[in-house]
Amino acid sequence: MRSALTMLGIIIGVGAVIAMIAVGTGASKQIADQISTMGSNLLMVDPGSQTSGGIRMGGGSQQTLTLDDSYAIERECPAVQDVAPRLNGTAQIIYGNLNWSTGVQGTSPGIFSVRDWPLASGRPITADDVRSATKVAILGQTVADRLFGGIEPIDQIIRIKAIPFRVIGVLAIKGQSVMGQDQDDTVFVPITTAQKKLFGTAFPGMVRGIMVKARSAADLNDAQKQITELLRQRHHIGTTKDDDFSVMNLTQMMQAAEDSTKVMKYLLAAIASVSLLVGGIGIMNIMLVSVTERTREIGIRMAIGAKTWDIRLQFIMEAVILSLIGGIVGLVIGITGSYVISMIAGWPIDVSLISAAIAFAFSGIVGIFFGFYPAYKASLLNPIDALRYE
């Protein structure tokens, strides 16, 4: 019973460390997944300038990005692979007697490459569609299911904002975004169609943003520079003036977020380690008491021939066994606790076997370290006095 209480510190320490690391690793893994869902090597060009804090001001108050800007970027920035301008809004989609309200994205052929988003069936939006502002639409899987059930949607006529559109394709399933939004609940239309027929523009050629895919991760910085230079030129921005747009390196942002999560993770683990320390002190305490209680026994062993390190090893081993058992129980509790947390709080977790092994080994080290002093004290006893001890 006493042993069980002693081990409590170690159990809690190991369990907490494992759970913290699992939650922290889950969080940073989620961010990494975020990057891959969005697409890779992305830059977001948005209208309106950026404050030094990185927060975009006015959410597009200075509407200056145009479709032509996006063509220019694609044409004249060598580090850029594809562009996807966007103009979006919400609209009612009607098919027969079913309707569904969803986000409609005006976009260009580049979107499929930029978002790494293939089609499940049908054909993509083409440059011709954009040139002619044809009334064609590509449905996300959720919209297709909602409006068409099992029926083939392609070549059917739907109404977006009471305007008839022909379905030319269905997107492959993307799943949930990191924010929990259903990415398949969307409709793509040519950007010009969105500009002229659906949502209108505050000025000619207006787009709400341009997503840019760089040729590779190494090209991201160059792409950012090229786009910035190009747009400053096009928008006639003097050298002393700020940009009227912002170019954000999505990967960089995500990386920064991931890094800070990592710091958080290790901080949490360090705090949890304090419990391990407390557990170790508990073990040292109990071992000291044990040594005192067994003074006579130590005297007998010494009289019979136990040498200094025979005694020390005996007590260190006992401390190590205590802490390792605590470590195993802590391991089990930490792993099950992680799963419980993820079920209740909905946080993602990633139980790392390596961190579990390290935490377990650490508990053994704690045993050796905190068991040493009592073992040392035991070995220094005078056998004659020890034998007389009551």
Partner 1 sequence: MKLIEAKDISKIYRLGDIELAALDAVSLTIEGGEFLAIMGPSGSGKSTFMNIIGCLDIPTGGQYLLEDVDVDKLTRDELAHVRNQKIGFVFQGFNLLSRTSALENVELPMLYNGVSVKERRQKALVALKTVGLEGREHHHPNQLSGGQQQRVAIARAIVNEAPIILADEPTGNLDTHTSTEIMELFQKLNSESGITVILVTHESDIAAYSRRIIRFLDGHLVSDKSVIDDRKGHEREAKN
300 binds partner 1 (CB under 8 A): yes
Binding mask 277-296 for partner 1 (x = CB under 8 A): -------------------x
Beta carbon nearer to partner 1, 202 or 304: 304
Q: Which residues contact 379 (CB under 8 A, 6 or more apart)?
A: 308, 309, 311, 312
Report whether 81 contacts 70 (CB < 8 A): no
Which of these segments, 9-17, 71-79, 219-227, 304-312, binds partner 1 (CB under 8 A)? 304-312
Q: Which residues contact 304 (CB under 8 A, 6 or more apart)?
A: none
Which of these segments, 53-61, 208-216, 281-289, 299-307, binds partner 1 (CB under 8 A)? 299-307
282 burial class (0-12, 13-18, 19+ CB within 10 angstroms)?
buried
Position among 33, 116, 222, 297 found at the interface with partner 1 (CB under 8 A): 297
How many degrees, rounded to 5, is the angle at CA 211 between CA 198 and CA 76? 110
307 binds partner 1 (CB under 8 A): yes
Structure tokens at 157: 């006529």
Other CB atoms within a 10 A radius of the CB of residue 35 amount to 19
Binding mask 342-371 for partner 1 (x = CB under 8 A): ------------------------------
Beta carbon nearer to partner 1, 368 or 387: 387
Return the biggest CA–CA distance within the chain: 105
Beta carbon nearer to partner 1, 75 or 307: 307
CB of 299 to partner 1, least distance (A): 8
Show the DSSP H helices in 235-294 as ranges: 250-293
| Distance (Å, whole) CA 9 – CA 13 | 6
182 binds partner 1 (CB under 8 A): no
Beta carbon nearer to partner 1, 208 or 312: 312
Which of these segments, 19-27, 173-181, 257-265, 301-309, binds partner 1 (CB under 8 A)? 301-309
Binding footprint of partner 1, residue count (CB under 8 A): 15
Give helix 250-293 / helix 308-345 axis angle, nearest 10°: 140
259 binds partner 1 (CB under 8 A): no
- From the list 369, 188, 157, the residue with the least C-alpha distance to 280 is 369
Position among 151, 303, 343, 357 found at the interface with partner 1 (CB under 8 A): 303
Return residues touching partner 1 (CB under 8 A): 296-297, 300-308, 310, 383-384, 387
